[in-house]
Structures are given as C-alpha cells and as structure tokens.
Amino acid sequence: MNKNLYFNTIVSLLIFLCACSLSQAEQLERNVQTKLNEIYKVIRTIEKKVLNVKVDSECWKEKWDPKKNEWIKDSEVYISCTSWFNGLPKSKARIDVHKEVLKWTDGVAPYAEDEYSVSFDGQLARKVHHRSGPINKTFKMREAYITSQPSKDLYAPWYNVATGARFSLVLHNNNSGVLMSEYFKMPDQEVKAPKIELKHEKFSGVECVKFGSGYLPRIGEQAYWFDPGRGYALMGTKRINIRKDGTEWLVESMKVEELKEVSEGIWWPTKATLEGEDPSTGELTRSVYRASNIVINDPDFN
C-alpha cells in the first residue's frame, strides 16, 4: 500500500473514532440533562403542593459498640416535640419542645431537662421557657424573648433532625433555605456546570436514583439517593472527606428507613437516622428520629 494512502487512512480512521466518541459523549450529556430536567419538574411540583406540615416526633442519640456489634444508647440526650412548618425551608416555623434533655455544662446535675417553645412568624421570633431544671426535677419558668430575627436554634442541625425536616424532600435544607429542586436545575449556558454523577442503584434495598459528585480522589464524595417510585422522596445522603493521610472520614450518612404517604404523591419520613464519625477518635454516633403523627396542609395552619 502507498505510504501516503496508508497514512491518510489511519488519520481518517482516528478522526472517525474521535467523532464517534465525541458524539457518544454529547449524547450522554444530553441524556443526563434530560433526566435532570425530569427530576426537577417532579420535585418542584411536590414542593408547590406542600403548603404546611405538622409533625409529632422524638429523637435520641446512640453510639456504635464494636464489641457488641450493635448500636447502644449514647447518653440521656433526648427530645420530644411538635413542630409546624410552612412549605418553604428556613421560613415560618414553630417548635413546641415537650421535653429536651441535654448535658449540663457546669450545672448542678449531669443533665438538664427543659420545656419551651420557639417560633418565627415571618416578622417576629419568639422563645418562651415553660420549665427547666435537673431531669425529673424541673420547675416552672416565666421567661420569654421576642426579636425581629429568628433564632439560629430554630434551624439548627439538632432541631432539623429531631423534627424530621433534615430527612424530608421539601425541608432538607431548612438551615439554608435552598429548595431541593434547585439541585437539579440546569445552570445558565455561561455558567460552567460542575461534574455530576447520575445513575440508578439500590440504596437500603430500594431502587433509587443516585445524584452527586461521584468519588473524587483526595477529596471524597457527596451523594444523595432518591426514590423515583415515591415522588423522588429522599432516601439517604452520604458525605465522605479524605484526610491528609489518605484515609476516609465519614462526615455524615443519612438513611430514611420508613416513609408515609401523607397526601397523594407526597411522602414524609417517619423513621430515619443520621450517622457520623468523630474525626479524631473514629467513634461512630448517630441521631435516631421517629415520628408518631404527621398532618399535611392543615387549613387552620397559622
């Protein structure tokens, strides 16, 4: 074969293969964009349907015992509460804490028990103390605060887990106010889209859509799992960081164990856990959430 003809044939073949690869990559990207848009529309529709929610729940702490190979009660830390939220994260809310037990630093007892209410009506924030003192020895209190800004506590991680907001699709970002649907909204053309991973896989035995960064060497991974069979209800999250020595640090792992259809097409978590690893000791601890009653879109909500 003529050398020039041979060379031209090879070049043409390489160009063809590159064009095919580019075409496949472009098609794959279009498929991902189509799927993202589909998920965005479903989640956004659900967000619009949730006008308000009331939840009766409780939460406690556990730690992993490697000797017994099981989770055991970590301490007396506990909370039971009734919470009301409107349909937007970091917005109008009220939490009536019926019982909260926390460690009492420099107190007269190892733990303190409190009963109080915190709320924000869009204009004023209130906190009213009802009872306080050592466990089972509380006394009545007459103390209240009114401010123009909502207390940071109202949207703090402890409340978000105890009320179930952290595990829900609609109020997952109750601390920042970002809607979950925004995660799937396609960026403007001039904005460079971050690398994402979108695929189907099982999570805790449920067929889910996994959405996240994918595993990145020397960085870690941020991932979410959604159940397409139940309106893309949030089933779990995982955040892993990589330490300087190359080992993994489980920052947090969230698992929804049970969902309840509180209205047509709207699913709310009733059982869930949030697990994390102490970066210095490696000890695993988790918060356990349980809901006993959920009311959605109460017309008397105020």
Given phi > 0 = left and psi -120 to 50 = alpha, else beta, which region is 66?
Answer: alpha
Distance CA 258, CA 234 (A): 11
Q: Chunked in runs of 10, what are the mean pLDDT values of the chain (302 residues)? A: 45 44 56 88 96 97 96 94 94 95 91 95 93 94 88 86 97 93 72 70 95 84 95 96 89 97 96 94 95 94 79
pLDDT at 14: 42
Q: Is 195 exposed, middle or buried (0-12, 13-18, 19+ CB in 10 A)?
A: exposed
* Fold of the 3-296 domain: outer membrane lipoprotein receptor (LolB), chain A (2.50.20)
What three-state secondary structure class fits 144? strand
pLDDT at 246: 86
pLDDT at 152: 73
Q: Which segments of the chain are extended strands (E)?
A: 52-65, 70-86, 93-103, 111-120, 125-134, 139-147, 197-203, 206-212, 220-227, 233-242, 248-263, 266-277, 284-296
Structural domain boundaries in the chain: 3-296
Q: What is the pLDDT of residues 114-154, one digit of tens each?
A: 999 999 998 999 999 999 999 999 999 989 999 988 777 78
pLDDT at 269: 98
